Amino acid sequence: MGDIIEIKNLHFSYPASEDGGKPVEVLKGVDLEIKNGEFIAVLGHNGSGKSTLAKLMNGILVPESGKVIVDGTDTTDEEKIFELRCRVGMVFQNPDNQIVSSIVEEDVAFALENLGVPYEEMRRRVDDSLKAVNMYEYRLHSPAQLSGGQKQRVAIAGIIAMKPKCIILDEPTAMLDPQGRREVMNVIRKMNREQGITIVLITHYMDEAAQCDRVVVMDKGRIVLDDVPRTVFSHVEQVKAIGLDVPQATELAWRLRKAGFDIPAEIINEQECVDALVKLFDK
């Protein structure tokens, strides 16, 4: 299993404001490797650099210094940027910013038409992508008739149709209700498990991050934690110190341990917490 994304000593600053301010350094020597087929969450409070990192992975931004290599291609190679974006798709927070057509299936086909994909192949890809996100029955609907979660699934279908190796999702559930968040997360997990698509999920929801294979925590432009969710969230005080939460089950277990109860430190979901409490009171 090779790396699909390699980031080496990455630095990035936004230009100075027009009123004479200094450039704002957002990333300060980031090193990160993401393997093919991984499902990774990137966490951090506002201003930590996580969304900037996502845009650098997709070639929307280019490094000030350091390297971002995506599937063997340097993101600063302008001649290959189009090819790169076909390999690494990006889904943003607001699906309305990505939906461009008045019919669902036409929206999913939009990028394929620009790529010059033959009609029969395009038809197959559009249908398969909509089925993958459970939106095929809505293919002739207007996006305006859909819920937020359904719109986001259509946006994801548009990316899937391009057959990327990796999809970066920048807070895709931030504007959704709990049902919409569940719908989108189910689709993301399915793509990763059944199609082997590498997923990079930027999120503020700790329970979403707990479902990933790996969690990267950023603070002030640097990576401060990088491990499996169970290990990352066991560092409750360190995570809280940088302004983040932990999954609710982890929080409860942590509080119980502080109160003197014998509860495991690496609980990350409700069932594990229930099992620990049953065991505790059966003693």
Answer yes or no: do 131 and 76 share one domain: yes
Instruction: Identify the CATH number of the domain in which residue 225 sits.
Output: 3.40.50.300
Q: Which of 25, 158, 161, 172 is nearest to 95 (CA)?
A: 172
Q: Which residues pair with 12 in a beta bridge?
A: 27
Answer yes or no: do 115 and 192 share one domain: yes
pLDDT band with cut points at 50, 70 and 90 for residue 283: low
Answer yes or no: do 80 and 26 share one domain: yes
pLDDT tens digits for 176-221? Answer: 788 888 888 888 898 899 889 999 999 988 989 999 999 999 999 9
pLDDT on residue 38? 95
Answer yes or no: do 105 and 25 share one domain: yes
Tally the domains of the chain: 2
pLDDT on residue 200? 95
Tokens 């029955």, residue located: 137
Rounded to whole angstroms, the Cα distance separating 173 from 92 reads: 9
Answer yes or no: do 214 and 270 share one domain: no
Answer yes or no: do 20 and 65 share one domain: yes
**Is the pLDDT confidence value at 18 over 80?**
no
Answer yes or no: do 13 and 141 share one domain: yes
Answer yes or no: do 23 and 130 share one domain: yes
**Is the pLDDT confidence value at 27 over 90?**
yes
Residue span of the structural domain in which 252 resides? 247-283
DSSP annotation of 152 reads H
Answer yes or no: do 182 and 256 share one domain: no
Rounded to whole angstroms, the Cα distance separating 129 from 107 reads: 12
Answer yes or no: do 277 and 141 share one domain: no
Rounded to whole angstroms, the Cα distance separating 167 from 4 reads: 11
Answer yes or no: do 127 and 251 share one domain: no
Answer yes or no: do 261 and 148 share one domain: no
Measured N-to-C along each axis, helices 119-132 and 178-195 cross at an angle, to the nearest 10 degrees, of: 120
pLDDT on residue 132? 85
For the chain, state the CA radius of gyration.
20
Rounded to whole angstroms, the Cα distance separating 159 from 108 reads: 8
As given in the structure block, the two tokens for residue 266 are 């690496």
